[in-house]
A and B are shown apart, each in its own frame.
Chain A
Amino acid sequence: MHLIKKYENKGAEFVDLRVTELNFESISTDDGKISSIQSSFSKEFSVRVFINGSWGFSYCHKEKDLKRCFEKAFKLAKTGSKYKRDVFNLSNIPRDKGKFSSKGSPMDVELEDKLKVVFDVYKEFNLKEIVNKMVEVSFTQKKQEYFNSNGSNLFEQRNYFNFLISITGKKGDKIRRAYERIGKCAPYRVFLKTKFSDIVSSLQERLKLLFVAKKAPVGKLPLVIDNTLAQVFFHEAVGHACEADSIIEKSSVFVGKLGEKVAPGFLTLRDTPKVKHEHGFYRYDDEGVKGKGTVLIKNGVLVNYLHSLETASKLNMKPTGNGRAENGSAFPIPRMSNTVLDNGDYKVEELFEGIKKGIYAKNSSGGVVEPTTGNFLFNTREAYLIENGEVTKPLLDVSFGGNILPTLMKIEKIANDQKPSFGGWRCGKQGQMVPVGGASPHVMISEAIVGGSR
């Protein structure tokens, strides 16, 4: 790329260019009727220039504006460098070449065929209490070229599918909703293999339980969380605090904790984009760094953070391939890929043993964490009371919270049933949404703040 060379000669210390193409298709249906079918195509060009520790970033949507885009990025970096106080150099800049295309693009499949799959799902609903049902699917194909002033030249194509099945039921004056959301970074044939009938029947079962479910107790209680909720828990409660920008901004509970024990000795947690078909899969991040996977907590000791090129340079550490951007108009920042908790030694049933009164919490409707204070909060989609070691009454969806560091030390048992979540999660940070995922076994926490049912 002669433009990259040109601005290097003009004094840029580092230049990179991303060309991102997104193809998107979605079908939303409500009670068997199409509420919308959408399709979109976008292409963006994104240029970054680094001078004296200051970044200039410019993006455009026309190839013929690319020259101007380079000039703008250069000028922005130049202006910024005038105000810059603490200059730093970029280190460990990658130099990689390769082309990686995934087979089985959803864009090669006709809309007609996709619609048929959606409408077939409706044949599975048979619970009379259902007053509304919704099925939504979406398909994304992302193609990205990456070039930098160190000679990198990469191309990667990934395919995604996501779907949501939701039912709302009414019994007496009780309105309850149950839903399942699944997403994978996988070819279309994997979407076709989805067992929709199983999903619908388990949703109907859940709805029935929600009609008889009671409000959860309030207070400090022991908790067993299932694979999906555990994965979301580790993403929110631990993963975010490991993102190195929050370390640099001193807004993480893990500041200064590298090499220290932060969890029980039987706990090992990693971030890795390399989980087959999981939503957070990729080969290279959006700064051209290979995603090899990073151990964050090893046998209870915090051993690494998640880096972009900038944070790794500032902290004199190695980049970890976690510099991700939502799209072409977004600047790459440290993000998780897939958060993976290693298996423990227990069988799942052993996690419930000895709990007099507690909560069995399954699946998640999302969670949040305030990395500075370490406070976190989750909501479940399914929950049960545990009484004398047995799972008993169904509960309305429960929310629970706590603080990261004390809660980590309260993890008592980890089961040996690790599974990817395929929850189709998208994680939001600084206004950017990126696909994430993970895998985890069941986990038992001796005490968490249970905030009742919503």
Chain B
Amino acid sequence: MEVDKILKFGQRFGDVTICLTKSNQTTVSFTNKDVGNAINGDSVFLEIRISKGKRFGYSTTNDLTKWKDVVLKAAKIMKLSKDLDLDIPLVQNKKVKPVEGLYYKKVEKLSVEDLFSFAKALVSAPEKLNVPKAEVSKECEETLFANSNGVFLKEKQTTFSSFVEVSDGNINAVDYHTTNGLHDVDKVLKSAVNLCLEKRNPKKISNFKGDVVFDYFAIKDLLETVLIPAVSADEVQAKRSKLFGMLGKKVFSENLTIYDNGRLKNGLFSSSFDGEGVPTRKTIIVENGVLKSFIYDLFSAAKDGVESTGNSNGINRLPNITPTNFVVKKGDFSKDELISCIKKGIYAREIFGDHLINRTTGDCSVGVEDVFYIENGEIKYPIKQAMVNFNLFDALKYVSKIGKVIRQESNVSAPPMVFEGVQVIG
């Protein structure tokens, strides 16, 4: 497929933006420590946007021979669209610097046999434990971005993922990890095995108000559901965000510094350019509790008269904002120290039902998983079932104890934290 041809053909209708993604993915999965299936496939996704003045049209296909139809459809959609508030911004031809640690040849070259050996390692739990499910996969994705302003960008990224679920017959525990390069799958298995053993003989608790250590998985879910939309410029401009009008003001505890970094080395969501071809950067969002910036794509940035922060999620809609690597600066406390400050409370590794959180108000009334009861600074026993009830915006105002180890899962890279005065329902 020739990009030039599409650009040329499309230009008779307006400005043209093309994004072409090609990927090859291989997955090997095991059930009950035994082979399940092996999957390999090729995908391709061609996106075309035609824009003129305040209007645009967008259409896609995975049949590259049909590119002409896609251009015509996008042009037709543009014609039917209504005017947006602003002219559709188009990125200029700027220098883009590559980001380190996105592509690993070792991962791309992994054979099916290699993946089977990783999967075998992943199911080699002690005999008394079962592994109901284990999965190893690798993916190589190439993105091409071009527009009629002469921009032509390319990037290649690999990902390697492992997932394992361990069971002793009553208690199940999972762990997973995704990286651009290879990672140690034995560690993933070990962590799931340990968690499974720690969770044995859970007890019931009754309701109380106490402190909660949320580990990074839980923090990730909370930030993803509530805070990320609240700092996305489109939500702010639509006045749906609780942080509307708060720029420059202290919104959270002075212990909190949060930034978005599209150029994080080995970051899962790093790239040298964003979904609109804008070079990525680091953006401080909250510094010592003070709200410094929102995250922007080209369209929302033009609306506020600022520069895009390189947070476009793609050319399919306007605005369209996503975090890259959303990082919470680490604190000083080890996990044991976080636990040792608590008189009565719980440790919760994961949130259960994060999509049930109220995004607008930040009110969380959710279940927690992999939960342990804490009394007088010590973990006493695992808890069978619990829910927690608190407001995330309020909790972030008072957070003082932040962990010193951060881990990235999906877009968020965060340390564990203690939220005080949370209603725990047993």
Contacts and interface: CB of A to CB of B under 8 A. Distances in A.
Interface of A: 28, 30-31, 33-44, 53-62, 65, 72, 75-77, 79-81, 83-86, 111-112, 115, 131-132, 168, 170, 175-177, 218-219, 245, 248-251, 329, 331, 365-368, 370, 372-373, 375, 377-379, 396-399, 401, 403, 449, 451-454
B40 interface: yes
Most chain A C-beta atoms within 10 Å of own C-beta, residue among B39, B69, B169, B358: B39
B57 A55 contact: no
B423 A452 contact: yes
Contact of A40 (B60, B318, B352): B60
B356 A58 contact: no
B387 to A, nearest CB: 4
Interface stretch (B77-85, B211-219, B324-332): B77-85
Interface of B: 28, 31-44, 57-63, 66, 69-70, 73, 76-77, 80-82, 84-85, 112-113, 116, 120, 130, 132-133, 165, 167, 169, 171-172, 207, 238-240, 242, 316-319, 352-353, 355-358, 360-361, 363-367, 369, 384-385, 387, 389, 423, 425
A378 B356 contact: yes
Contacts, number: 223
8 contacts: A59-B42, A77-B38, A251-B167, A366-B353, A368-B367, A373-B172, A449-B387, A454-B389
B197 to A, nearest CB: 16
Contact of A43 (B59, B62, B355, B366): B62
A111 B73 CA distance: 11
A54 B80 contact: no
Contact of A83 (B41, B120, B169): B120
Contact of A399 (B36, B57, B319, B366): B366
Nearest to A76: B38
Contact of A250 (B85, B130, B207, B316): B130
A377 B353 contact: yes
A397 B113 CA distance: 51
Contacts of B358: 397, 454
A36 B364 contact: no
Given A80-B38, A84-B35, A168-B240, A61 B43 contact: yes
A54 B35 contact: yes
A453 B360 CA distance: 13
A359 B399 CA distance: 33
B353 A84 contact: no
Contacts of A454: 356-358, 361, 363-366, 389
A42 B46 CA distance: 10
A375 B367 CA distance: 9
A331 B333 CA distance: 44
The 8 A-B pairs of least Cβ separation, nearest first, read: A36-B317, A249-B132, A55-B37, A59-B41, A379-B356, A76-B38, A451-B387, A454-B365
Contacts of A370: 352, 369
A366 B356 contact: yes
B356 A365 contact: yes
A243 B335 CA distance: 38
A207 to B, nearest CB: 13
Contacts of A75: 112
A76 B61 contact: no
A131 B238 CA distance: 9
Given A42-B61, A401-B367, A403-B385, A54 B356 contact: no
B365 A453 contact: yes
A248 B172 CA distance: 14
A249 B112 contact: no
Contacts of B39: 56-59, 76, 331
Given A399-B387, A401-B385, A83 B167 contact: no
Given A85-B35, A331-B39, A251 B132 contact: yes
Contacts of A170: 239
A399 B388 CA distance: 11
A368 B42 contact: no
Nearest to B362: A454
A41 B31 contact: no
B80 A377 contact: no
A218 B76 CA distance: 54
B347 to A, nearest CB: 17
Given A42-B62, A55-B37, A368 B44 contact: no
Contacts of A176: 360
Contacts of B369: 370
Contacts of B167: 250-251, 372
Contacts of A56: 37-39
Nearest to B387: A451
Given A218-B207, A248-B31, A452-B365, A373 B62 contact: no
Contacts of A80: 28, 35, 37-38, 116
